[in-house]
Structure 1
Amino acid sequence: MASPRPIVAPRPVVEIARLSKTFGTGATKVPALIDIDLTIGTGEVVGLIGPSGSGKSTLLNCIGCITEPDAGTIRLDGRAIFDGKWLIGDLRRLRLETIGFIFQFHNLLPFLSAWENVAIVRTLMGESPERAKARAMELLGYLQVDHRADALPSKLSGGEAQRVAIARALANEPRIILADEPTAALDSERAAIVIDLMKQVATERDAAVIVVTHDEKIFSRLDRMVHLRDGRIVEVVS
């Protein structure tokens, strides 16, 4: 009888310790994040949930190296990024090479076709136009929207546009995908498709996906839900 395959724990991709962030000063001082500890591994799709003002978007932006925390540490894909201060000089390059962003509204460039919206990420990384287009077509095919490659965003359905946005987020082969309300504008069927695609991407590409959401129809499809309230993690549900 064959021995059972060992269970391999996911490798940490996002590691946060005692992360804090405050906005404003004096009477207008508002603590947005307070001593956040969170680890997310390869293959995981984790939701950040909570009421408005709970710190979800601030945490996402800190992970995305957009908002600078006041204190704590951030490690991304095993690399120390923040420890009381940024440890990386070129954060733009880090974001371009390591992180993929997906938003509630696809934010596709309206004057570029679907494939051009994806390829532009590769050209910004210095790849030739030919190779960038080949990569874009590969990703659009992976997400089953390559038949719409030449269409402008205005000609795409909501689900098609979101798939193109996911392809764009994958163009730099990111280890971390950050999604801010990616299903809020979609119906239940399309929302399920988008989250299932993210889970597929996380598993097949050893990535970590973090989703800020109020969308209860996708809760059951998340691997974990991290509840925030008043800048603190109050509950984690698997």
Structure 2
Amino acid sequence: MIGAPTPLVSFVDVRKHYGEGSARVDALRGVSFDVGAGEVVGLRGPSGSGKTTVLNIVGCILAPSEGTVRIAGEDIFAEGHWLRRDLRRLRLETIGFIFQFHNLLPFLTATDNVALVLQLAGEPRAAARRRARELLDYLDVGHRRDAFPAQLSGGEAQRVAIARALANRPRIILADEPTAALDSQRAQTVMDLLRRVAVDQKAAIVVVTHDEKIVDRFDRMLELRDGLLI
């Protein structure tokens, strides 16, 4: 493992089921893995294998049924319940999200789309915009800082979305099919950017993907099938 001695993401025998009795569906059936700082890990498998469930549990959006989840060395779920009450604050400060579609607000410029996350966390507007411009420059899209989403190419919009995910300096970045809507060159560019982020910011990055164009960009590839790692 490339990362620090203490993993930033740790699953220990995590299970998730929906429903009871004959209607019960086991989405995860005892999944264990670690992701360290500086590591870019892929997660793939057929539809219904549990990939999105894993991502939502790491993101503290969905509670497991059983098992232990550790974020940055802290047990946040164990013995059937969350151990942290301030999950919204944990997500805001520690976890960044990147989606297949950029989900940028159409009425805000690239700069303001990124700055908004910082302002929601209490950062003054001027400081938030300064940080947003720095991130856009870092991701080589600073020249489009005043453009609205409709004026951006697909690759540019995804870079702005990555900048937004990095705004609060998260230690963990979760990406759900971030290259599915991009051509091969832009997909590889996005993955190279995520690699740079992992190294420069010592972040743990987990990417759900079906995209065969980018499989060589990961440190490790985890494969799920029927709720199990294979």
What is the TM-score when the length of structure 1 is the normalising length? 0.94
* Paired amino acid for 1:182: P
* Paired amino acid for 1:62: I
- Pairing 1:91-130 to 2, within 5 Å after superposition: 91-130=87-126
Q: Given the alignment of the two structures, is residue 229 of structure 1 paired with residue 230 of structure 2, yes or no? A: no
Distance 1:53 1:225 in 2: 18
Distance 1:8 1:72 in 2: 25
Q: Given the alignment of the two structures, is residue 145 of structure 1 paired with residue 141 of structure 2, yes or no? A: yes
Deviation of residue 9 (structure 1)?
Answer: 5.4
CA distance 1:46–1:184, shift in 2 (3 Å): same
* Paired amino acid for 2:10: E
Q: Which runs of 4+ in 1 moved over 6 A?
A: none
CA distance 1:147–1:205, shift in 2 (3 Å): same
Matching residue of 1:63: 58
* Paired amino acid for 1:214: H
2:67 is aligned, of 66, 72, 81, to 72
Structure 2 runs not aligned, ≥5 long: none
C-alpha contact 2:95 2:171 (8 A) present in aligned 1 = yes
Q: Provide the secondary structure at the position in 2 that maps to 1:165.
A: helix
2:158 is aligned, of 159, 162, 182, to 162
Q: Provide the secondary structure at the position in 1 that maps to 2:112.
A: helix
Matching residue of 1:3: none
Deviation of residue 53 (structure 1)?
Answer: 0.3
Cα offsets for 1:60-101 (capped at 9, x unmatched):
000000011001111111111111210110111110000000
Distance 2:172 2:3 in 1: 18
Distance 2:117 2:224 in 1: 32
CA distance 1:212–1:141, shift in 2 (3 Å): same
Distance 1:53 1:10 in 2: 32
Cα offsets for 1:16-64 (capped at 9, x unmatched):
1010000122332110011111100011100000000000000000000
Q: Given the alignment of the two structures, is residue 10 of structure 1 paired with residue 4 of structure 2, yes or no? A: yes
Matching residue of 2:191: 195
Matching residue of 2:37: 42
C-alpha contact 2:2 2:36 (8 A) present in aligned 1 = no
* Paired amino acid for 1:138: E
Cα offsets for 1:161-198 (capped at 9, x unmatched):
00000000000100000000000000000000000100
Q: Provide the secondary structure at the position in 1 that maps to 2:164.
A: helix
Across the two proteins, how many residue pairs are aligned to each other?
228
Distance 1:59 1:153 in 2: 30
Matching residue of 1:53: 48
What is the TM-score when the length of structure 2 is the normalising length? 0.97
Distance 1:13 1:27 in 2: 37
Q: Provide the secondary structure at the position in 2 that maps to 1:111.
A: coil
Matching residue of 1:205: 201
Q: Provide the secondary structure at the position in 2 that maps to 1:10.
A: coil
